[in-house]
Amino acid sequence: MSRNADRLRQLFVDLDRLDFAAVADHCTGDCVYEDVPFDAATAVGPEAIRAKLELGLGTLERIPTTIHELIEDGDTLMVERTEVWHHRTGERATLKVAAVFKFRDGKIALWRDYWDAKTLFAQQPAHWLPDIPRS
C-alpha cells in the first residue's frame, strides 16, 4: 500500500471519529473539496474543509466508512466506499460514494465526492440541515 493510500485510509478513520481538524490536516493549503451534487458547497483550504465537515456531520455520533475499491494511478486515487451516518438520535443513513483524490507532496490537493443527494436526504432525520430541500 502506498503512502497516499495509507493517508487516505487514515482520513476515513479520523472522519469516523468526527475529528474534523485531523481530516483537514490531511489536505494541502489549497485543497479543493467538492461534493459534486452541490457545486455551491465547494470548500477550499483546510479551515474551510473543517468548517464544511462540521456543518454537515457535526451532529453525528460517528460515520464509519467501508472502502470497497481503491484504485491508484500515480498521485490519483479513486475510491468506492459506503458511509453509514449514525445520528445521536438513533437514525442511520447509508450512502454509497465514488470519489477522486489527487495528492501533492503526500497530502490531498483535490477531494471530489460523487453521490446521490436524493438517496441521502431521504434517509436523514428532519433535524439534520433543516434548511436544505429534501426533494
Domain boundaries, the chain: 3-123
Q: From CA 107, how far away is CA 29, in angstroms rounded?
A: 9
Q: Each residue of 73-88: pLDDT tens digit?
A: 999 999 999 999 999 9
Give the 3-state secondary structure percentages of the chain, helix then strand then coil, rounded to 5.
30, 40, 30
3 near 106, Cβ under 8 Å? yes
Does residue 134 have a pLDDT over 50? no
Count of alpha carbons within 13 angstroms of residue 42, beta-carbon side? 11
pLDDT band per the 50, 70, 90 thresholds, residue 105: very high
Angstrom distances, CA of residue 53 to CA of 16, 18, 20, 63? 12, 9, 6, 12
In words, the CATH class of domain 3-123 is alpha beta
